[in-house]
Structure 1
Amino acid sequence: MNLILKLLLSALAVVIIAKFLPGVQLADGFTSAIILAILLAVLDAFVKPILVILTLPITIITLGLFLLVINAVIILLAANFMSGFAVSGFWTALLFSLLLSFLQSILYSLMDKD
């Protein structure tokens, strides 16, 4: 139940960000946002750890700031895999990932703590 709630909150965050951030297009509204939230969860679970391990030296040198680049790459991968979601470029994907993380942390903090 907690996973479903987090996916729905992530989808809500995606809809809000796509509405206000120029360069991000989301077709079909909330249905595409739910699919995108699931796709981002899968990419974060399987692709992101591999990218983190492969880029560990540069991540250490940049004191972890390169993880922002990895997050933007995950957003761009999701845009390539999903036809109803488009991001205009790398910097838009970077800003989208920052805003998504910020909005998700706010929405997750509103969830009931069990």
Structure 2
Amino acid sequence: MGILIRLVITAVSLWISTLLVSGITVETDSVPKKIGTLLAVAVIFGIVNAVLRPIIKVVGCGLYVLTLGLIALVVNGLLFLLTSWIADQLDLPFHVDGFWSAVLGALIVGVVSWLLNMLVPDGDD
């Protein structure tokens, strides 16, 4: 159940990023298709982050220390662009136009997800 809640939170965060960043779009008019697309992209984003983020952190540990963690913004943006590319390969109507849109979108997704996760109780409370 927790995984489904996190999936919905990520999808809502992606939706908010499409509203706030002009370079991030979901190009469908149908609300059910938009919801399905956002859920599918949330799954892709979760898999990309789960698989690649630990590898990147280990390999780029020195850069994280050297830049005081600011390289994480670049890494998040690149992972967001990768998610957009994978969604495009799967014919999902989710697009990120450019690096800066990706960085800003990933930052918004991260902050909104964090806020929503703070509001949703987990099993430990």
TM-score class, shorter:
over 0.9
The one of 10, 17, 37 aligned to 2:42? 37
The runs of 5 or more residues in structure 2 that have no matched partner are: 28-32
The 3-state SS of whatever aligns with 2:95 is strand
Alpha-carbon RMSD across the aligned residues, in angstroms, is 1.2
The runs of 5 or more residues in structure 1 that have no matched partner are: none
Q: Between the two structures, name the one with larger relative contact order (CA 8 Å, sep ≥ 6).
A: 2
The one of 79, 84, 87 aligned to 1:79? 84
Residue in 2 that maps onto 1:57: 62
Contact 1:24 1:92 in 2 (8 A): yes
Alpha-carbon distance between aligned partners in 2 of 1:109 and 1:96, rounded to the nearest angstrom: 20
- Tell me which amino acid in the other structure corresponds to 1:50: I
Alpha-carbon distance between aligned partners in 1 of 2:13 and 2:117, rounded to the nearest angstrom: 11
Q: State the identity as a percent.
A: 25
**Residue 92 of structure 1 pairs with residue 101 of structure 2:** yes
Alpha-carbon distance between aligned partners in 2 of 1:29 and 1:17, rounded to the nearest angstrom: 14
Structure 1 runs of 4+ with >4 Å offset:
none
Q: TM-score, normalised by structure 2?
A: 0.85
Q: TM-score, normalised by structure 1?
A: 0.93
Q: How many residues align?
A: 114
What do the CA deviations read for 1:40-74 (whole angstroms, capped 9, x no partner)?
Answer: 11011111111222222111100111111111110
